[in-house]
Amino acid sequence: MVLSKTRILAAFVALLAFTIGAAAQDADLILLNGKIVTVDDRFSIAQALAIRGQRIVAVGSNADVEKRKGPATRTIDLAGRTVIPGLIDNHAHWIRAAEHDELRFDGITSRALALKLLTDRVQATPAGQWVEVLGGWSEEQFTDDPRGFPRDELDRIAPNNPVVVQAIYNHSYLNSAAQAALKITAATPNPPNGTFEKDAAGQPTGVVRGPGGVAFVAAGIPLFDQDAWLANTRKLVTYLNSLGVTAWLDAGGRGMGAKHYEPFRQLAERGALNIRAFWTTIRAPATPAEADAVINEIPQQKPFQGDDYFNQVGWGEGVYAPVTTQLLRATSNTKPEDMAQYRRIAEALAAHGLYVNSHVEMEAAIDAFLDQYEAINKTHPIKGLRWTFSHLDQVTEAQLERMKRLGMGAQIHSRPLIQGALMHKVHGDKAWDMPPFRRVQDSGIHWGLGSDATAVTTSNPFYTLSLAVTGEMIGGRKVNRQTISREEALIAHTRSNAWFLFEEGNIGSLTAGRYADLLVLDRDYLTVPEREIKEIKPVLTMVGGKVVYEAPAK
Ligand SMILES: [Zn+2]
């Protein structure tokens, strides 16, 4: 078909009209009179911001932004409040966390208050149902009485409900009902990597120790049915929104399967997931034969089939179980025969072009992993795949240089918030530099901040920022001397983390074209006294231009 000149002209005029119209399109929402910390490349501060649909369309002065105001535009007067990009956590286990509606001791510094919260929760729970706290706190964070919860005390407040209070990922306190439900008796053999503590008469005391013990107890708590799981997922997301989290990279975890991902997938499909959840496939092969099975499975992996709310981005954090290191153990278990198995799996992942995140903490282990990566890079280049190490509590300058040469990124976590005192017991003075926030920042490597919530630290990102800036654990004890500026910490918890999610064009800073993921804060992050950073709370949280949380009016 040949188009007539008139038709071409008409099409041109229509296109021109459309273009002009689009440029002048009104904003849906305008935020005025604020202190907008954009976290753009120049860390510029603006006064106002306009949103159309899910994205920011203008950032600047009130006058600049008001140009986007039309008859239907809604306006929020920020009255001088500070706005920051939504906080992105590069390492958390929140997809698993939705399996239980646990009570949290996030940021609680008084044992008396923790006991009161537990008592209230028990009283609000029907008899027979479980009440659980699954980590996220340690005895050392209590400034009034730094100790755990003996069985007698738990029995007194909960005669009719099984109660589990897990400290970090180290030990669990059980009441008699929980002990009975889990069938723990004098005759029960210890689980692998765990022990049932016994009294002088050989009877179990209610304390279960070791990571295997903690896992045994947690696996015995009944899971939700599908509908309740979905409802609890929404509740968890609202809690995270209230803390200021708008996106994260999920690190999988113990006992996870398809049923854990399903509620998030369903919510995303309905446009009802008020947070951005990105995840990696986790497998924990422990023998060469299991490694073979995993290697066969790798070619079927197809990441990036989701959207900007729910997407698989690669593989990790566990790759080969026998080489997993632990923060509270000074020695690394990286035997050559186990590293050889790790290498086979990592090489298959590189050959398939997948992003890989590996859990590694201690200096010796980091070297052992880097030796493998450098060898793999010669046959299957990994530069460009954004491979990362998570935790890196003892990383040295030389190791950071090796990582940079491989195009790697560093994910650094706030576990000293509740484990700082224990880290000093295990690692002595070395713990002052664990993790080395300052060293990592100064190395120039691409790096970001995360929590490793929920078991081994709190979920609150303002606590992570606080640790990086003050070096203080919950309760106020100084445990880290590698502190960074609050601007560096904020970049590491926003813009830098977008890169780990392969979303750096979409989120992480408040600039035109990106999603309107933002927090209006109750006080100014840039000027409050350092010790108040952890107290900061969003009064409003927005994800993709939608208000997902508003603090109750005072
Ligand atoms: Zn880890």
Instruction: Going residue by residue through the chain, which has 554 residues, state the pLDDT in tens, using 9 for 90 and above.
Output: 444 555 555 555 444 444 444 445 899 999 999 999 999 999 999 999 999 999 999 999 999 999 999 999 999 999 999 999 999 999 999 999 999 999 999 999 999 999 999 999 999 999 999 999 999 999 999 999 999 999 999 999 999 999 999 999 999 999 999 999 999 999 999 999 999 999 999 999 999 999 999 999 999 999 999 999 999 999 999 999 999 999 999 999 888 999 999 999 999 999 999 999 999 999 989 999 999 999 999 999 999 999 999 999 999 999 999 998 888 888 778 899 999 999 999 999 999 999 999 999 999 999 999 999 999 999 999 999 999 999 999 999 999 999 999 999 999 999 999 999 999 999 999 999 999 999 999 999 999 999 999 999 999 999 999 999 999 999 999 999 999 999 999 999 999 999 999 999 999 999 999 999 999 999 999 999 999 999 999 999 999 999 999 999 87
Residue type, 150: P
Q: Which residue has the tokens 């440029």?
A: 23
Alpha carbon of 24 to ligand 1 centroid (Å): 48
Alpha carbon of 442 to ligand 1 centroid (Å): 23
pLDDT attached to residue 20: 45
pLDDT attached to residue 554: 73
Alpha carbon of 239 to ligand 1 centroid (Å): 23
Question: Among 95, 137, 144, which residue's Cα sits nearest to residue 118?
Answer: 137
The whole-angstrom separation of Cα 158 and Cα 163 is: 7
The whole-angstrom separation of Cα 356 and Cα 301 is: 12
Q: How many helices (H) and strands (E) does the chain have?
A: 18, 23
Alpha carbon of 389 to ligand 1 centroid (Å): 9
Alpha carbon of 359 to ligand 1 centroid (Å): 5
Strand segments, DSSP code E, in 371-413 are: 388-391, 409-413
Contacts of 453 (CB under 8 A, 6+ apart): 89, 92, 93, 94, 97, 136, 459
What is the token pair recorded at 411?
């994910």
Region of 95 on the Ramachandran plot (φ > 0 left; ψ -120 to 50 alpha; else beta): alpha
Residues 373-387 as b or e (16 or more Cβ within 10 Å = b): beebbeeeebeebbb
Contacts of 386 (CB under 8 A, 6+ apart): 355, 407, 408, 409, 499, 500, 502
Alpha carbon of 513 to ligand 1 centroid (Å): 33
pLDDT attached to residue 324: 86
Tell me how far CA of residue 303 lies from CA of 169, 278, 281, 285, 353, in angstroms.
30, 10, 9, 20, 10
Distance of CA 87 to the CA centre of its chain: 10
Alpha carbon of 144 to ligand 1 centroid (Å): 31
pTM confidence score:
0.93
